[in-house]
Amino acid sequence: MEKFLEKNLTLKNFAKYVTPSILMFFFIAFYSLVDGFFVSEFVGTNALAAINIAIPLTGILSGIAVMLSSGSCAFVSIKMGEGKASDASRKFSFVCIVAIVSGILFSTTSPLWLRAVLKIIGATDILIDNAYIYAFIFLLFSPLALLSIVFEYYIRIDGKPSFTLILYVIGGLTNIICDYLFVFCYKWGVLGAALGTCLSFLSITIIGSIYFFKFSSTLKFTKPDIDFKFLFMSCLNGISEMISECAASITTMIANLVIIAVAGEDGVAALTIVLYIHFMFISINLGYITGVSPIISYCYGAKQFRSINKCYTYSKRFIMCTSFGAFLLAQIGASQFIMIFVEQGTNVYDIAIHGLKILGFSFLFTGVNIFASGMFTAYGNGRISAVISLSNNLIILLVSLLILPKILGIDGIWAAIPVTELITAVLSLFLMFYYRKQYNYIL
C-alpha cells in the first residue's frame, strides 16, 4: 500500500487497485447465476425454489465463518505488524482448527434437526425433499465451506489480495464444470448442484492449503496456540459481520414465507431468479467498496486527506454510473435476464419479470448504501457501519416485508427492497454529511 500511494492518487492507479475486487465479486455473482441456470433449465423451477428455501441455513454457516475470519484477522494482523510472525502463524493455525471442528459439528448433527427446520422456514411438501438434499450435502461439507472462507481472508492479510481472485476463478470454474457434468450429463438434479458447489469449496481449500504451505510470505501452518480468550475476542470483534451475513438469511426466509403464501412454489422460484439477478447487479458495488476501503483507511491514517477526497470524487462518478446503468438494464433487459432461467409465457416468468421491474428501482439507491457502510468501516467506525447495514439488511427490510404485502399483495414483496434502499439512502447521506468534519472529507 505504501508503494501504491507513495505519490498522489491518480485515476489510473486507483482503477488498477480497485478493479481486481470488482472482478472478484462479479465472478462470484456470475457463477451463482450459472448455478441457478443449470438447476432451473435441467431440473426445474421447483428445484430452484427448494434451493432458495435452504439458502438461509447456508447463509448462517457463512456468517459463522465470516465472524471467525474477520474478527481474528485484526488480531493476527497486529501480530504480523509487530514482527511476531510465529505468533501470528500459531493463531492462524488455531483459527483453522476451530473452523474444521465447527464444520464437523454442523455436518454430524444436521440429520437430527434439518428436516424439521426446513419445514419451519417454508419448505412445502413439494419442496422439502430437494431442499433437504441440497442443505444436507452443503452441511456435510461444512468443514470445507468454513475453511475456504478463512483462507480467503487470511491470504488477503498475508499481502496477496490478487491471489484471492485466483481462488474464486478456480472455485467458480470447478462449480460450472461440475454443474455441467452432474446436472446436465448425469442428471443428478439438486444433488448434482450441491456437489458442484461443495467441490468448488474443495478446490479452494486445496489451493489455499498449498499457498500456506509453499507460497505464504508470513503465515504458515504450525503447532496451534490453543487460546480460547483469543477465540472469544475474535468472535466478539467479528459479530457485526456475522449479524450482517445472517440478516440476509433471515430476510430471505421471511420473503420465502410471505411469497409462498401469496404465489406458492412458483412465487418462490420467481423470487429466487430475481435475487440471482439482483446479486449480479450489486456485486459490482460490493467489489468496488472492497477495493476502495483499504485506500481510505491508509490515507486517513497517513493524513492524506487530498487523496481521500479524490476517492470520493471517483466514487461519486462510479456510483452514479452504475446506479443508473443497473436501473436501466433492469427495466429494458428484464425479459432477457429472466429467460436465462425460465421460458417466456410461464407463470414463473410472468411473476419474475414483473418483480424485477419493480425491484429494479432499488438499484438507484443501493450503491450509496454499500459505499456508506464500507466507508465507515474503513474509518474504523464499526458502530455506524453496523447501523447502516442492519437498517438496510434487516430492520427496515423486515418491517417492509411484513407491512407492504398486506397493502399491495405480491407487489409489496417486490417493493420492499426499493423502499428499504430509499429509506436507508436517506440515513446514509445524513450520516455521511454529519461525520464529514470528523473525518475531514468533502462530499
pLDDT one-digit tens code per residue, 173-210? 999 999 999 999 999 999 999 999 999 999 999 999 99
Residue pLDDT, tens place only, 222-232: 999 898 999 99
Q: What is the pLDDT of residue 234?
A: 85
Please state the domain extents for the chain.
Answer: 1-26+275-443, 43-237
CA distance 297 to 378: 5
C-alpha cell at 198: 461443495
pLDDT for position 48: 93
3-state secondary structure labels for all residues of 187-206: CCHHHHHHHHHHHHHHHHHH
What digits encode the pLDDT tens for the residues 4-34? 555 567 888 888 878 878 888 888 888 888 8
Cell numbers given for 165? 481472485
Q: How far is CA 90 from CA 217, 258, 355, in A?
A: 15, 47, 50
From 128-137, 156-165, 206-215, 284-293, the region with the lowest mean pLDDT: 156-165
Helix 347-359 × helix 410-434 angle, to 10°: 20
Q: How far is CA 50 from the centre of its chain?
A: 20
Q: Among 144-148, 165-169, 434-438, which stretch is predicted with the lowest mean pLDDT?
A: 165-169
pLDDT in tens, 347-381: 999 999 999 999 999 999 999 999 998 888 778 78
pLDDT value at residue 277: 94
Q: What is the model's pTM?
A: 0.86
CA distance 392 to 251: 11
Please report the pLDDT score of residue 260 as a whole number: 92
Span 375-401, average pLDDT: 86
Provide mean pLDDT across the span 43-47: 94
Beta carbons within 8 Å of 437's beta carbon, 6+ residues apart: none
- CA 322 vs CA 283, 290, 317, 318, 332: distances in Å: 11, 16, 9, 6, 15
Q: So what's the pLDDT on residue 206?
A: 95
CA distance 202 to 167: 11
Give me the half-sphere count of Cα atoms (radius 13 Å) on the Cβ side of residue 287: 26
For residue 161, pLDDT beyond 90: no
pLDDT band per the 50, 70, 90 thresholds, residue 240: low
